[in-house]
Structure 1
Amino acid sequence: MARNPYTDLPDARFWRRAVAGVAPFAVDPRPAAPFPILPTDRVATGGSCFAQRVAQALRDAGYHYYITEAAPAGTPPEEAAQRQFGTFSARYGNLYYTRQFVQLFDRAYGAFRPALRVWPREDGRLVDPFRPTVEPQGFAHPDEVEAAREAHLARVRDLFETLDVFVMTLGLTEGWRHRADGAALPLAPGVAGGVFDPAEYAFVNAGAAEVTADLRGFLDRLWSVNAAARVILTVSPVPMIATYENRHVLESNLYTKSVLRVAAGEAAAGDPRAVYFPAYDIVASNINAGRYYADDLRSINDAGVRHVMRCFLDTFTPDEAPRAAAPPIASEFVGAAGVICDEEEIERSVA
């Protein structure tokens, strides 16, 4: 008989055995995976900038990284990258906060048609307010924006209905919404298009209850069209680039990540089709003493990504499934080249 409730718990439950007594690069807080990912599974991604690092790591590991909105045949690779073909599984751009996921689904299936249709840029060109950076050259006419949007949303429907695994990376709780109908925007108006008018646009900072409800709402929507879909929720370890709250950005960042971490865990609980994976916990934990951040203390270096993906592979890849060899863990003690982060437009817009 156990002497107390903790007597026979595994080593992973104890800080000294699983953290303090382990080399930082060997700490492995993997969850008990409720499902495997097979090489044939169609694995899609969406979310913040860090989702792009995850997508590349999935490709490198031999997973079937699933894309339903590919570049037109003959598009030069450089142009395809600039227009964000393949950056995510569909060209929705960065989905920083949870209301965007919900409304993306509802827009794709005709349940929500925002009043906001186009944003003008300073150069006279037009952009889609819900993905303002996917077409660097912009559009000449509102009809072109509408046509591109409808084609995109068709590919989003294809994605949701046919994916096997969706990796969602949550990045922010702060955001902007159109006051007319609550349409959630990836960037504040005036940063990459549009004109900021506080009478027309509202700043929001979601709390844990709202984020949890959004996540559960999105999951219910996804499962309504794809009951077999499996979802991996993660929180981006990349700090926010700026806060609109009247406080230090460090405080706002800790609030944001704490809310997202709590909500992701709560939303994933209780359904075997969803699981929280601790990418944020691995990178941002004090055990690494900042080793996984570049000099800007924001970009995640390659060692951090390798540690996350090694744990990811060990969690979700069955032992018998073929996969690319992981790098030796000793190499994990740089850079975000090629990662598109719409949030960085904030800094460029105020420089």
Structure 2
Amino acid sequence: MHPYRDLPDYCFWSRSMPSLHPGRIDPVTRSDFITASDKVATIGSCFAQHISRKISELGLNYYVVEPGPADASPADRLKENYGVFSARYGNVYTVRQCLQLFDRAFDAFTPTEDAWEHPDGGYVDPFRPQISPSPFATVEDLREDRARHLRAVRDMFTGSNWLVFTLGLTEAWRSTLDGSVYPTAPGVAGGRFDEARHEFVNFGIDDVRRDLHALIEKLRNINPTVKILLTVSPVALAATFERRHVLTSTVLSKSILRVAAEEAQQTFEDVIYFPSFEIITSAASCGRYYDDDLRQVNRIGVDHVMRVFEHHFIQSDAIRPDERRDDAPSLVSFSNEPNDVVCDEEVIEKALQRSGLGRVTA
């Protein structure tokens, strides 16, 4: 007799990993089904967009509070970042950024920096600098659009039944004046970097844990029944500001986020971790789930993750083929290629090219 005797097969590597075809590995051990009427919202890094598409493809209720102008074409809506996520906030990479977005939506925090000048003229929002290919003509236009956006974000937080939050990064840039966290460094997609006003920060496990718990508690105060699905993006950092190899920084960031997600799942009811990160990065895939750049996830990897997601979170009787929603904002706005995702972090490479440095090489 020993304590391992009656454990299920998934507790043993030999029974759940090498014995299966790599495409059939399924590390999910906790399921909770999304119904056809549930409003499912998404926020976070670029990988969250794949779950948005899957929800739309299945005909479920992908909750989009900023769908864009009704008379705009799908291509035009995509250019303006409508339907990419539930609201037009672009990539929300860090937990601190998401927590501050929540506070801004409920008038609990107003950042000091209001607008950044764009190199080509006009202005961009420091907290979503790439939501449009064209900058705002005036600061007043920017403020009006942001006010509408934050009202929509408030509706998203209060009205969703599920919130899918994909944790992406721990590295960020913030204001030294009030701690505001930006999705990109000042000067990369707008604005001007100033050492007296801006600083680099790499959030540690204590920071991320505290921020994630605070976010969940605040969300539950205004939406007590919402279920939260946490994932960690398997997409590597595009760049690190730490003086170490980007691969090492990637592993550190993802490890911190993974631990924080696990502790949140153990602490809060109806908070579930979904292991998309583990599926993509597993040794069983032999690197076949990444594009040639070894960063973006390819179609094979995305399909594996989505098969597992559908199996554990979508009831087969919740949808029928004739109920698939061909007009779902996230579905019509994208091509069928999985790497056709909006990734604000990649603007770093574009900034290097503008500076004449080109692509960074080893």
Preserved contact between residue 220 and residue 226 of structure 2 (Cα < 8 Å): yes
Preserved contact between residue 31 and residue 276 of structure 1 (Cα < 8 Å): no
Q: Which 10-residue stretch deviates more, 186-195 or 269-278?
A: 269-278
Q: Which stretches in structure 2 are left out of the alignment for 5+ residues?
A: 323-335, 354-362
Equivalent residue, structure 1, for 2:4:
6
Cα displacement (A) at 1:273: 1.4
For the pair 1:235 / 2:232, whether they are aligned, the reply is yes
Instruction: Name the CA shift for 1:145/1:304 in 2 (closer, same or farther; >3 Å).
Output: same
Cα displacement (A) at 1:271: 2.5
For the pair 1:181 / 2:178, whether they are aligned, the reply is yes
Preserved contact between residue 296 and residue 339 of structure 2 (Cα < 8 Å): no
Preserved contact between residue 63 and residue 323 of structure 1 (Cα < 8 Å): no
Equivalent residue, structure 2, for 1:91:
88
Alignment of 1:4-43 (within 5 A): 4-33=2-31, 35-43=32-40
Preserved contact between residue 118 and residue 190 of structure 2 (Cα < 8 Å): yes
Q: Which residue among 321, 343, 348 is the counterpart of 2:345? A: 343
Equivalent residue, structure 2, for 1:47:
44
Q: Which residue among 97, 101, 104 is the counterpart of 2:101? A: 104
Alpha-carbon distance in 2 for matches of 1:48, 1:253? 14
Q: Which 10-residue stretch deviates more, 169-178 or 300-309?
A: 300-309
Equivalent residue, structure 2, for 1:270:
267
CA deviation string 1:222-278 (max 9, x = no partner)? 111110100000000001100000011110011011111111111121333111000
SS, match of residue 23 in structure 2 = helix
CA deviation string 1:163-190 (max 9, x = no partner)? 1101000110000001100001000011
Q: Which residue among 128, 133, 150 is the counterpart of 1:131? A: 128
AA in 1 matched with 2:259: V
Equivalent residue, structure 2, for 1:260:
257
Alpha-carbon distance in 1 for matches of 2:63, 2:220? 18
Alpha-carbon distance in 2 for matches of 1:270, 1:261? 14
AA in 2 matched with 1:27: I
Alpha-carbon distance in 1 for matches of 2:105, 2:347? 26
Preserved contact between residue 42 and residue 64 of structure 1 (Cα < 8 Å): yes
Alpha-carbon distance in 2 for matches of 1:15, 1:277? 19
Equivalent residue, structure 2, for 1:217:
214
Alpha-carbon distance in 2 for matches of 1:37, 1:157? 22
Alpha-carbon distance in 2 for matches of 1:63, 1:30? 21
Equivalent residue, structure 2, for 1:164:
161
SS, match of residue 174 in structure 2 = strand
Q: What's the Cα RMSD here?
A: 1.4
AA in 1 matched with 2:221: S
Preserved contact between residue 91 and residue 344 of structure 2 (Cα < 8 Å): yes
Alpha-carbon distance in 1 for matches of 2:9, 2:112? 54
Alpha-carbon distance in 2 for matches of 1:109, 1:343? 27
Preserved contact between residue 172 and residue 200 of structure 2 (Cα < 8 Å): yes
Alpha-carbon distance in 1 for matches of 2:337, 2:93? 21
SS, match of residue 164 in structure 2 = strand
Equivalent residue, structure 2, for 1:330:
none
Preserved contact between residue 174 and residue 201 of structure 2 (Cα < 8 Å): yes
Alignment of 1:290-309 (within 5 A): 290-309=287-306
Q: Which 10-residue stretch deviates more, 290-299 or 264-273?
A: 264-273
Alpha-carbon distance in 1 for matches of 2:140, 2:122? 13
Alpha-carbon distance in 1 for matches of 2:8, 2:301? 26
Instruction: Name the CA shift for 1:159/1:55 in 2 (closer, same or farther; >3 Å).
Output: same
SS, match of residue 17 in structure 1 = helix
SS, match of residue 269 in structure 1 = helix
SS, match of residue 147 in structure 1 = helix
The number of aligned residues is: 340
Alpha-carbon distance in 2 for matches of 1:210, 1:177? 14
Q: Which 10-residue stretch deviates more, 278-287 or 70-79?
A: 70-79
Preserved contact between residue 58 and residue 319 of structure 2 (Cα < 8 Å): no
> Structure 1 length as normaliser, TM-score?
0.94
Alpha-carbon distance in 2 for matches of 1:190, 1:31? 44
SS, match of residue 57 in structure 1 = helix
AA in 1 matched with 2:26: D
Alignment of 1:284-295 (within 5 A): 284-295=281-292
Q: Which residue among 61, 65, 68 is the counterpart of 2:65? A: 68
Alpha-carbon distance in 2 for matches of 1:177, 1:4? 52
CA deviation string 1:162-219 (max 9, x = no partner)? 1110100011000000110000100001110010112110100011111111111111
List structure 1 runs of 4+ shifted beyond 2 angstroms. 317-325, 334-338
Preserved contact between residue 60 and residue 324 of structure 1 (Cα < 8 Å): no
> Structure 2 length as normaliser, TM-score?
0.91
Preserved contact between residue 52 and residue 88 of structure 1 (Cα < 8 Å): yes
Alpha-carbon distance in 2 for matches of 1:26, 1:65? 27
Equivalent residue, structure 1, for 2:313:
316
CA deviation string 1:302-347 (max 9, x = no partner)? 111111111111111235433669xxxxxxxx94343110001001
Cα displacement (A) at 1:125: 1.2
